[in-house]
Structure 1
């Protein structure tokens, strides 16, 4: 997997760039900047690069060997990787943090580098907020996929992975993450897989993949949303309410039905995991003036190709900023740190 193709490496430039996150966006940006002659350091909490491409997507879709090959290409290009290293400011704990052995403050990077690209992705799943969601046998899809992939590539023991053989798996959602759960479920011997989506199949951006799954025997139920998980000591079923679409919004009706289930996996989206907890209220232009840029899922959900393109575009913006503004020291480090503090405290 090629994250960036460097035709000819440029002469060394007198600037250092830190990239936080070694997913597709961060790796694409790292390749562009290293190719242009900049000193690039990538900080990643996981033991190797690739982000969710490496640690969340099934091996049948993207084998880990192809990701590793792409990372090695960047190493040969001169990119410096700092694995098992998490950059912190006010970050809450999230999926994958157990791999971090070293912690570096964002303030320190602001003092050591001329620009920073935050490409930390979206490693925090949205929680299913219905009664019974905490029952054993109910999983957020992202964590389930992550643990299965980590077992497949040798980081985890299979003993800690749920046994899906002969089970009925109910998957809530219809995006690529939901599709990946269905794929892994079939590979791990599930007897039946039912996907349930609150909108119609045509509303799903993964509809092509879902149609293929339907042809292979996966059941797909549209226009339904979960209202409670049923079970005593563990999940036994899910109660759904029928939905309809009015002026683009999902409306829950009074019509109900129940599906039996041995395993429930909900794939209802992920939340950005930036080292700056609150970037929502931030004026992105202000942060750019401080030499802080964002790319990939940390901004909004992206597919792999879009994330890589955005990483390259942000890298070009960083280069333009470095050449035009950084020498003028628009925002010294203490000012940049104060701006971040104001953002994090909701004062922006």
Structure 2
């Protein structure tokens, strides 16, 4: 603990933002990170609280009080070493994690939580600037080969851990670039893709092989989100070549809205809008890109994906953006005596909302209306009320909302089917790969030597949970191959 009375002396200082009018004109990140002296003061706010609930609030169990103290002492390199001992990619979580660690902060009971996420962001950015992030190739090779199917954060974390343990790791990715939903789900203004690219270079120097545009399945799917594969590899070939296989793809099957008019032109899944924009930002040509310029946009779904649609539409120059959420409007602030140290339900306004958006809650979409050309022109919506967890429509509450584009951003149900079907693994009730996380069979599927981690196993979740599961799965695979493991869990 750096300063005993720091939490009494200093106020929380959040990271700054470029002004909305300016940042809507580009696709770059716009967060103004803390300066060294500002991070020092924020580190001083960390309390000697005895039991640091933040450690368990963080899915990767970052050793938060220690790196807070080190930043207060301005020992940045050691702070980086502590941070990277539990998190392979702090530059991802320091930008896009919602920070459950801060919800669990002891100071958050009756004051503003320590700015843990901003400190993490400052540490890893300084580490890259100072050249401390370097490849860590293994001292010896094991002769074992591991296939990782899915190059999102879970697959990347598992691959890096296993390569550092001395295994030969090949990562198969159906998209044309590494990153999974980090690459083609999260807009560049939240996470510039150069952060992924430099991690790929580091991992290649550590011995990881990436095979992009490659789908491991029995056949190309008839439809798919974010599927830019040009090569198909059979699961039989993978099973024959590798000693262990990890399934680590993302949860990409979006929830549909089967109401009248769903097939009208202009009604799209969110990822049909977000993924092409990221490709265009990367310099690719995408002739069929959906563009919101000058259009009335309606986003259905109040979560992060919906927020990303709002921010992207604003950067296109949409005439208007409206976002509907089926659930009731949450309270402005949580009852901390009831929710702490758990993640609370409360009103959250993203940076994209601040750029311009009309939001409404407890609204259900009954149908879409279109014109003679088959294009959507309006939504028919209605108010709902929730009683004892059940939703009922309020009689006489219908109205129409004009729309030129509608994006369905209601979450994702399970991984796309071809990979799980190809390997014949047993699924749970939600369509994910069935595998537990504890005990001797942790992360193992019903098929011998096939493991599952991240969204592929747990369903739609956070990047930080994907990293955690990738790391833990890597340890289980290492133990399966070698009988013991020195990898951290």
Instruction: With the length of structure 1 as denominator, give the TM-score of the two structures.
Output: 0.84
d(CA) in 1 for partners of 2:156, 2:356: 37
Higher mean C-alpha deviation, range 72-81 or range 297-306: 297-306
Residue 118 to residue 44, structure 1, CA distance change in 2 (3 Å): same
Q: Which residue of 2 aligns with 1:276?
A: 420
State whether structure 2 residue 387 is matched by structure 1 residue 246: yes
Larger RCO, structures 1/2 (Cα 8 Å, 6+ apart): 1
State whether structure 2 residue 270 is matched by structure 1 residue 127: no
Following superposition, the deviation at residue 324 of structure 1 comes to: 3.3
State whether structure 2 residue 445 is matched by structure 1 residue 316: no
Q: 2:307·2:353 contact (CA, 8 Å) conserved in 1?
A: no
Q: Which residue of 2 aligns with 1:262?
A: 404
d(CA) in 2 for partners of 1:178, 1:35: 37
d(CA) in 1 for partners of 2:291, 2:215: 32
Q: 1:198·1:250 contact (CA, 8 Å) conserved in 2?
A: no
State whether structure 2 residue 18 is matched by structure 1 residue 18: no
d(CA) in 1 for partners of 2:481, 2:145: 10
Following superposition, the deviation at residue 100 of structure 1 comes to: 1.9
Q: Which residue of 2 aligns with 1:338?
A: none
Unaligned runs of 5+ in 2: 1-86, 91-132, 332-342, 436-440, 485-489
Residue 150 to residue 125, structure 1, CA distance change in 2 (3 Å): same
Q: 1:2·1:70 contact (CA, 8 Å) conserved in 2?
A: no
Residue 134 to residue 104, structure 1, CA distance change in 2 (3 Å): same
Q: Which residue of 2 aligns with 1:332?
A: none
Following superposition, the deviation at residue 133 of structure 1 comes to: 1.0
Following superposition, the deviation at residue 317 of structure 1 comes to: 1.4
Q: Which residue of 2 aligns with 1:336?
A: none
State whether structure 2 residue 253 is matched by structure 1 residue 95: no
State whether structure 2 residue 368 is matched by structure 1 residue 229: yes
Report how many residues are paired. Answer: 323
Higher mean C-alpha deviation, range 200-209 or range 62-71: 200-209
Aligned pairs for 1:169-248 within 5 A: 169-202=297-330, 210-232=349-371, 233-248=374-389
Cα offsets for 1:179-234 (capped at 9, x unmatched): 10000001110121110000034399997763544443311100011110111221
d(CA) in 1 for partners of 2:179, 2:251: 13
Q: Which residue of 2 aligns with 1:337?
A: none
Residue 70 to residue 78, structure 1, CA distance change in 2 (3 Å): same
Q: CA RMSD in A?
A: 2.6
Q: 1:3·1:27 contact (CA, 8 Å) conserved in 2?
A: no
d(CA) in 1 for partners of 2:353, 2:229: 39
Following superposition, the deviation at residue 30 of structure 1 comes to: 0.4
Higher share of residues assigned strand: 1
State whether structure 2 residue 437 is matched by structure 1 residue 298: no
Structure of greater Rg: 2
Following superposition, the deviation at residue 7 of structure 1 comes to: 5.3
SS of the residue corresponding to residue 226 of structure 1 reads: strand
Cα offsets for 1:52-77 (capped at 9, x unmatched): 11122111111121111111111111
Q: Pick one of 185, 190, 201 that aligns with 1:56.
A: 185
Unaligned runs of 5+ in 1: 326-348
Residue 212 to residue 46, structure 1, CA distance change in 2 (3 Å): closer
